[in-house]
Structure 1
Amino acid sequence: MTEKLGIVTAGSLNKGIEVKLDGLASIEDMAVGRYVTIEGRKRKFFGMITDVSLGVTDLNLTVSPPSGDDFLSEVLSGTSAYGSLHVAPYLTIGGDEKAIVEGAQPVKTIPSHFSVVKEASADDIESVFGKESKDNFWIGNPLDMEVKLCLDLPTLVKRSNGIFGKSGTGKTFLTRMLLIGMLQKSAAVNLVFDMHSEYGWAGTSEKKRQVKALKQLFPSKVAVFTLDEENSRRRGVSTDYVVKIGYEEIEPEDISLLRQTLNLTDAAVEAVYQLRKHFGKSWFVAAANLEDEETLAELSIHESTFQNLKRGLNTIQRLPFISSNAPGDVVDRILAYLEAGKHVVLEFGRYTDITAYILVANMLTRRIYARYRDRTEKAIASDSGYPTPLVITIEEAHKFLNPMVASQTIFGTIAREMRKYSVTLLIIDQRPSGIDEDIMSQLGTKITCLLDSEKDIDAVLSGVSGKGELKNVLAKLSARQQALIFGHAVPMPVAFVPREYGTTYGDWGETAAKVTTDEIEDLWK
C-alpha cells in the first residue's frame, strides 16, 4: 500500500499541479525527481515532483513563528503551516474502455480538486516503463525507489541519441551500459570510435583501476580494432585488426571537417578540392610535395593559401597510422564483422589528438554509411535482406556537429535522417551547447548527468515540453551516479540512479568474475 502524500489544491496543464502535503507526510522526505500518482475521479495520473516549498495560511506565522515551542510547532504543522509539492503530470490512464486498453497516454487534462496524491509504487513504474524482457533492458532505478527502470532498446536505436554531462559524472559508464544492453538484446550492432580506449578490452576508473570492457565481457560478440598496435600489446589487449590508412583514402571532405583543428583558411579548404580535381586520388602526396609555382598559378591558388594548407597536411602526415602502402581494406573488415553481428570497437591508443580522431572517424563513417545506404536501397527494392541496424558511437561530438560544420559532415546527415538507412548515432559530449541546435532537436532520446553551465542545460532541454520543470530536476542531480533520461524511447522523463555492474561481471556478459564494492564504485568515470 503506497503512502498518501496530500491532495491537489490548484494547477493547470501547462504550469503543473499544486499539491498540499498531509500533516503526516514529512516534507524532508520529498525530493525533486521522485514519481507520484494522482487518483482523479476518472483517471489515474503519473507525474514527477519538480519543486518543493513551504506555505502558511496566516502570514503572521512568518513574522512570529513558534520558536522553541515544540508542542505548538507540532500543532500548527500540516494545518496553519504546511508543505507543498509542484508536480508535472506526464501520463494518464483510464477514462473509458478504449483508453484503458491503450494503456498510459500523454496528459491532455488535469485531475480535479482534492484528488489524492500518493507515492508511485513498483507496479506503477512497471506499468509505465515495462519489465525486463527480450527487448527491455534494466538501466537503473528511479530516484528513491527499489524498482527496475527498463528501456526499450529496439525503440532507442531507431533514432540517434545523446549522453551528456560534465567531466566525472558518469558518461563513460552510462555509455558502456547502453552498449552492453545492445549486445545483450541484439538491438543493433555498434561501431565505437573509442578515443580513450575505454570500451574495447578494459577501461580505467578515476582511481586508476582497470575495469572490464566489452571484449572481456563478450569475447565472441566484440572485435577490437586498433590504430596503435604497440599500445594495445603493452596493455595486453587482444586485438582483431590493426588499422592503417592510405594517403589516397583521404578526401577533401575529411580536410574540410578539420578546418578549425588545423587552423585552415576558407581559401585553403577550397584549394583542397581544386588539387583533388587536378591530381586525382594521389592529390595528398602530390600537394605535400608540390613546389611548382606554375601549377599553383594554373589552379589560381595563392602562395600564402597553399602554405597554410601545407602546414595542415604536414600535421596529418606525421600521424604514424597514415602511410602510402596501407592495405586499404579496413572498411571491408569492419563491415564483415558488423554483418556477422559482431560489434566493433576502434581504439586510438596513444593517438588521442583530436586531429586523428576526427580524421579517422569521419573517413570510416562516410564510407560505411555509403555501403549501408546502398544495401538499404537494394533491400527496399526487393523488400528483403535489410541490414542490421548500426549505431555509431562518437565522443567529443561537438567537434563533428558544431553549427559551422554540421551541415557538411556525414554525422550531421545521419542525425537528421533518423535511421533512414539503418544507421544512427550515439553521441557523447560534455559541451552540448557546442552542438548545432537542429542536430540536438533531432536526437530521439537524451540521457544527461549533471551539467554546470546554463548554456549546456538549455541546449540539452531545447525543444522539450516542460523545459522549466526538467531544468529544476537536472539542476538537483547528484554530481555522480544520477542521470535524467527523456525523449523518444521513454514514455515520460525520469531521474534515475544507473545500475551497477552487480555482484559479478557475469550479470552483464558471457563470463563471471567477482567484483568488490570499491570496484563497483570505480566504474564511474
Structure 2
Amino acid sequence: MTATDPTYLGRVSAVSGSTITVRLAESLSSGLAMIDGHTYRVGQVGSFVRIPLGYQDLYGVVAEIGAAAAPEPVAVAEMDGQDTGRWMRVELAGEATGEYFERGLSQHPNVDDAVHLVTQKDLRRIYGGEEEDQVEIGTLSSAENIIVRLSLDALVTRHSAIVGSTGSGKSTTVASILRSVVSTSESVAASGARILLLDVHGEYSTALGDLAKTFSATPSPDEEPLFVPYWALEAGELLDFIAGELSDNHLMAFTDKIQELKENRLGAGALPGLDPQSLTVDSPVPFSLKKLWYDLIDFETATFTGPQRDQPALEAAGDPATLTAPRYTPHAMGAAGPFLNQAAKGIRRPLNLLRSRLLDRRYDFILHPGPWEPDLAGQTAQDLDTLLGGWLGHDRPITILDLSGVPSSVLVRLIGSILRVVYEALYWSREKTEGGVLRPLLVVMEEAHRYVSPDSGNVAADIVKRIAKEGRKYGVGAMLVSQRPSEIDETILSQCGTLIALRLSNPADRGRVKGALPDNLSGLMDLLPVLRTGETIISGEAARLPVRCRVSLPPADRLPRSSDPEVSAAWRTRRVAEGYDRMVASWRAQRTTAVVRDIAITRTPINEDEQ
C-alpha cells in the first residue's frame, strides 16, 4: 500500500503479544480523513485499525499515540515518505475472514505490515448487519455515521454493568438501552421482552412510562401498590427483620411456632405442588404474624393456679387481630400462686419488637401485603401466582419497582426479598413457558453498590451473587448500575461479561473497572475522566470490539428525572406564593403528592352534540 490510499496509516514496527506498535506515515498531516463521503478522525485513542494479512484482516483498537522526543536520523527514506517519529500502540482484538468476524487471533502481523483506518464497510464486517440479536444503542465517537450495536443475547445472559460518576449520563444511558431492547419488536404489545427494574430513586417512571408498568410503595394514581408478602421469604431473613438478632434457643421458639402455623394452614386446605411431608419452615406457605405474636406472647405471660399449677389465671383473652395481649393475674410469692410459666422461653423483648413492626405503617408493603395478607387461619385472598403475574406477566415489557418511598432501614432487605422471590420462581419453573429459560428475564439493579459491597453480607448481596454465578443457565440476566464500582463486590463485577463505562474520575473506581475488563485496554480506560456526558466505553461479550460510543438520547419527554436543577434560572425567577404547610404534609405523609386540603372537583363529560 502507498500513501495514496486514504485509509493508509503506517506500518508495524514492533509486535509483543497482542500489542503492536505502528510507525505512522508522513502523509498523515491532518487528524481528519474524507473517505467515500464520510469524515473519519484519524489516529484517535479508541478508534479502530485494520491490518490485511492475505485472506484475513486483523482488527485492533488504538490505545496510545506518541512521538519520539527527537527525530532519529534516517538513512533511507521509506516509499511512503520520511519517518516522522510518530507512533501509536494498538491492542489487537479479533480477525475477519470474508464477512465473518471472530474475536481472538490465529496469527500475528509482521514488521512492516501495512496498517489501515477502519471504514464503515469494515465496521459492518465487525458488527454485522441488522441481525435479530443486535440492538442499536448509539454511534461511534470517532465516526458519528457508524451505528453501534450490541448483542442482546450476550448482554442479558452474560450480565452487564453500567458504571459512571454522578452526572455522567448513567440514568439516561440505562433508559436509552432499555428502549432499544424493547424496540426490537414491531410494537410494545408484540414485544416478548421481560425486564424488571429496581428503581431506588424513582427516576424511571417518567422515562419509561409508555413501556412499563410501575409498582410503588407510595403509589401515584397511575401506579400499582407494591407488596412483598412476608411469608414468601426465608424464615431466617424474616425473623432478622421482625424480631432482631436472636439466640439459638430464641430462634428455635419462633421457627417451631412458624412451622406449626404452616402445618395448620396445610391441614385446612392443600396448596398445589406442596407435599405436607416436605413442608419446611422456609416453604412459601401463608401464616399470620399476628397469630404468631399472640400465641407466643400468651405462652410467655401465662400464669397458673391450682394444686397442680395447671389452671390458667386468665383475666382477659386479648385479641390477635388488634394485637391486644391476653391479661393474666400477676404471679405472687409463696404457695398460693398464681405461678409463672416455667417453660417460658424468655422472648418478650423480640415479641415486643415484632408488635412494634406490625404497628409501624411504614412497613405495610411487606407486613400487611394487601390481598396477600393472611387471616388468623393463614388464608389469603390471592396467592403468589397473581403477585408474579402482576410483576412479570402483564402486557408491557418492563416492570418498574419504585422503591423511593421505602425506609432506608429496610431497603436492602426488601431488594433481597424481591430478588429471591423472583429468582426462586424462575429457577423452579425453568422447564415451563413462564420460566426464565423459555422467556428470559433481565433484572436492572440501580445503585447496586448500596447492597452488593464486599462487606455487606446481606441477603441482597447473597442472591445477586447467585444470579451472577448461576443466572445464565436459568435465563436470569443482571444489569448492575452504579456510580461507585470500587464498592461492588469483585466476584459480582467479574461475572459481568459486558462493561459499559461512562465518565469516572475517582482513581479507585477506574482501577476496579480496569481490573474487570476482559480486554487489555488500559490506554483506552485512561480516557474515562474526560468522556463527555452520555459517552461510554463498551467492552466485553456484547460488543464484538471494544468501542467508544455516544449513546442515543431518548425523546425529550422521556428523560429520567435525574437532571440537575437549573440554579441560575430558578434564582432569577421571582418567588411565587409558598405554602410550607404543604412541605410538612409531604414530609409527614412520606409522599411527594400529599396535600393539606383535599379539594373535591366534580368532573362531567362534555356532550359535543349539545354545544
**TM-score class normalised by the smaller sequence:** 0.7 to 0.9
Identify the match of residue 7 of structure 1 among 3, 8, 11. 11
Q: How big is the shift at 1:287?
A: 6.4
Deviates more, 1:423-432 or 1:50-59: 50-59
**Other-structure match for 1:362:** 416
Seen in structure 2, the aligned counterparts of structure 1 residues 120 and 331 have a Cα distance that, compared at 3 Å, is: farther
Identify the match of residue 65 of structure 2 among 52, 60, 63. 52
Q: Which residue identity does 1:3 align to in structure 2? A: T
Seen in structure 2, the aligned counterparts of structure 1 residues 433 and 302 have a Cα distance that, compared at 3 Å, is: farther
Decide whether the 8 Å contact of 1:35 with 1:49 is kept in 2: yes
**Other-structure match for 2:216:** 226
**Other-structure match for 2:163:** 164
Q: How big is the shift at 1:20?
A: 1.4
5+ residue gaps, structure 1, are 61-77, 95-99, 203-212, 506-514
Give the Cα separation in 1 of the matches to 2:510 and 2:133: 30
Q: How big is the shift at 1:46?
A: 0.9
Q: How big is the shift at 1:121?
A: 0.5
Seen in structure 2, the aligned counterparts of structure 1 residues 254 and 479 have a Cα distance that, compared at 3 Å, is: farther
5+ residue gaps, structure 2, are 32-41, 74-80, 185-190, 259-286, 302-339, 373-381, 565-611
Identify the match of residue 321 of structure 1 among 359, 362, 365. 365
Identify the match of residue 56 of structure 2 among 43, 46, 57. 43
Seen in structure 2, the aligned counterparts of structure 1 residues 248 and 56 have a Cα distance that, compared at 3 Å, is: closer
Matches within 5 A, 1:108-507: 108-145=106-143, 146-185=145-184, 186=191, 188-200=193-205, 202=206, 213-216=207-210, 218=211, 222-229=212-219, 232-233=220-221, 238-239=222-223, 241-249=224-232, 251-252=234-235, 254=237, 267-268=245-246, 273-274=251-252, 276-280=254-258, 281-282=287-288, 292=300, 318-324=362-368, 326-328=370-372, 329=382, 331-333=384-386, 335-337=388-390, 338-339=392-393, 342-348=396-402, 350-351=404-405, 353-377=407-431, 387-404=438-455, 405=457, 409-462=462-515, 464-469=517-522, 472-475=525-528, 477-501=530-554, 505=555
Q: How big is the shift at 1:273?
A: 4.9
Q: How big is the shift at 1:341?
A: 5.5
Give the Cα separation in 2 of the matches to 1:317 and 1:226: 15
Give the Cα separation in 2 of the matches to 1:500 and 1:340: 27
Give the Cα separation in 2 of the matches to 1:299 and 1:470: 64
Decide whether the 8 Å contact of 1:165 with 1:430 is kept in 2: yes
Give the Cα separation in 1 of the matches to 2:439 and 2:250: 36
Q: Which residue identity does 2:494 align to in structure 1? A: S
Q: How big is the shift at 1:87?
A: 0.7
Question: What is the percentage of aligned positions where both structures have the same residue?
Answer: 23
Deviations along 1:121-177, whole A, 9 cap, x unmatched? 011111111233433111111221121011121332222221111111111111112
| SS class of match (1:166) | coil
| SS class of match (1:357) | helix
Seen in structure 2, the aligned counterparts of structure 1 residues 300 and 122 have a Cα distance that, compared at 3 Å, is: farther
Deviations along 1:371-420, whole A, 9 cap, x unmatched? 2122214579xxx9954111111112123323343786222211111322
Decide whether the 8 Å contact of 2:71 with 2:85 is kept in 1: no
Task: Tell me how large the CA RMSD over aligned residues is.
Answer: 4.1
Decide whether the 8 Å contact of 1:45 with 1:89 is kept in 2: yes
Give the Cα separation in 1 of the matches to 2:208 and 2:96: 40
Give the Cα separation in 2 of the matches to 1:136 and 1:228: 37
**Other-structure match for 1:21:** 24
Between the two proteins, the alignment pairs up a number of residues equal to 457
Tell me the TM-score normalized by structure 1.
0.74
Seen in structure 2, the aligned counterparts of structure 1 residues 349 and 431 have a Cα distance that, compared at 3 Å, is: closer
| SS class of match (1:30) | coil
Give the Cα separation in 2 of the matches to 1:398 and 1:490: 24
**Other-structure match for 1:71:** none
Seen in structure 2, the aligned counterparts of structure 1 residues 470 and 190 have a Cα distance that, compared at 3 Å, is: farther
Give the Cα separation in 1 of the matches to 2:431 and 2:353: 38
